[in-house]
Amino acid sequence: MKPNKIFLMIIFVSSLLGANAQQDAQKSMYMFNMLPYNPAYAGSKECMYAVGTYRAQWIGIEGAPQTLNLNFHSPLLKQNQYAFGGSARGDKAGNTMRGNVDGYFAYRLKLMKDTKLSLGVSVGFMYYQLNIKNSKVDDKSDILLNNTPNKLLPNFGFGAYLYNPKYYIGLSVPHILSPSLREITSGVVDTFLSKQVQHFYASGGLILGKGDVMFRPSFMMRYIPEIPFSVDANMSVLLKERIWVGATYRFGGDIYDLNSMAFKFGSGNAIVGILKFLVTPQFEVGYSYDYPLSSLNSVTSATHEILLGYNFCKDKKLRYVTPRYISYF
């Protein structure tokens, strides 16, 4: 293997297992599936909505992350100030597997005629499994290789979300606790594997124009302690109230500087193309294609993401273009 590929693989593995690495699954179509990031988003479509996404990251790299996410949310009653939801997610990266199950509850306060402030909480747990036995190592006598660490970690989160038909802004911490992942071997060896770290998110956007062509600029910022924050800046166009076409520029993140031997805030990380189509008034299909701008493009050319969503509203007056009905928070 070439030296540059060896270095990239070291950084890749470190990002998966490091105690301070990003652990929440990254999504390029976050604007259409925001519930796992912000519990206050529950009920914002004013009817029951279900969505599933699948993401295959860094195609061509063995053990690269794969994520499947299913969730739903709804007001308790139509136009009710209370809302609820649920989410299930499975992540696989290398020999690490994680499963998350969360429940959401939101209280929505009407501030003005079309403006609401939603405060939400989430409660759930993460199931963590590290299959050490499948690791490729030189010293097979290591006592840890005889174990497959499994952990069940509870957590809770909080979010705030202000929205009306023209704009939105959200702030959230999906999991507040930071439990450690430790493995006790033969009652003697106490091995620190990793820990679940806090992630902070901020998002916002607005609708511009009216008619057959409308614009929706939006952003999402991620901050993880001891790791540079990253930003997704997106510009999407809605055509005929049926087709979304968008592009995202992602910058920042864990760019490693060989001279200082430290992570620094990076410039271009990736560019993303997004297409979402309203097949029927209730059923939608989306696809995104990520192209890395960092050194990763020497070993991988793409990341693919697929979205399927279904809106259970049957109100003929429902306007797809109205932000409160668009799952982009």
User: Which H helix or E strand runs over 256?
Assistant: strand 255-257
Buried b (16+ CB within 10 A) or exposed e, 164-196: beeebebbbbbbeeeeebebeeeeeeeeebbbb
* Enclosing domain of residue 252: 3-325
pLDDT tens digits, one per residue of 97-155? 889 999 999 999 999 888 999 999 999 998 888 776 666 666 656 555 555 667 888 99
pLDDT the model gives residue 182: 60
Over the stretch 221-246, which tens digit does the pLDDT of each residue have? 998 876 767 899 999 999 988 999 99
Tell me the two tokens of residue 188: 């003697």
CA angle 270/271/275 to nearest 5° reads 135
Q: In total, how many domains does the chain have?
A: 1
pTM: 0.79
* Rounded Cα gap, residues 24 and 4, in angstroms: 27
What is the arithmetic mean of pLDDT over 163-187? 79
User: Per-residue pLDDT for 34 more than 80?
Assistant: yes
3-state class of 315 per DSSP?
coil
Any idea what the CATH number is for the domain that residue 12 is in? 2.40.160.40
